[in-house]
Structure 1
């Protein structure tokens, strides 16, 4: 039996390496959000969370979840 996959493991590795926050250009980290997997900005002053819909990251600042 295989291990469960991580939240954004369905993203291609090459794509995962080049994705950046569209608001501040910082790196993104994998996270589990209230609605499922998401990518979260690593910049503490930004911290926007972008949802992943059916394996496609939605990197739209207007649709990002703001940090609590």
Structure 2
């Protein structure tokens, strides 16, 4: 299932890391994943029940997300 967020919300959301970059829907290699990916650092944040979990501890590091 793909992430279904209001486009205006997606425009406002940003990675909580020091980079503060924009997020895109999906994960590397899986554009339909229930996740948001940072355009700067590559961390992948899960979306659970339609709610983005933007916690650094919950994110998959960029290198882990590329291996899946």
Considering fraction of residues, name the structure with more strand: 1
Map Cα deviations across residues 15-66 of structure 1 (whole Å, 9 max, x no partner). 1110000102101111146xx41000011xx211100001000000111001
**Count of residues in Structure 1 that have an aligned counterpart in Structure 2:** 58
Question: Tell me, which stretches of 5 or more residues in structure 1 are unaligned?
Answer: 1-5
Considering fraction of residues, name the structure with more helix: 2
Aligned to 1:19: 13
Question: Tell me, which stretches of 5 or more residues in structure 2 are unaligned?
Answer: 64-68
Aligned to 2:66: none
Output the CA distance in 1 between the equivalents of 2:15 and 2:34: 16
Runs (4+) of structure 1 exceeding 3 A deviation are none
Alpha-carbon RMSD across the aligned residues, in angstroms, is 1.7
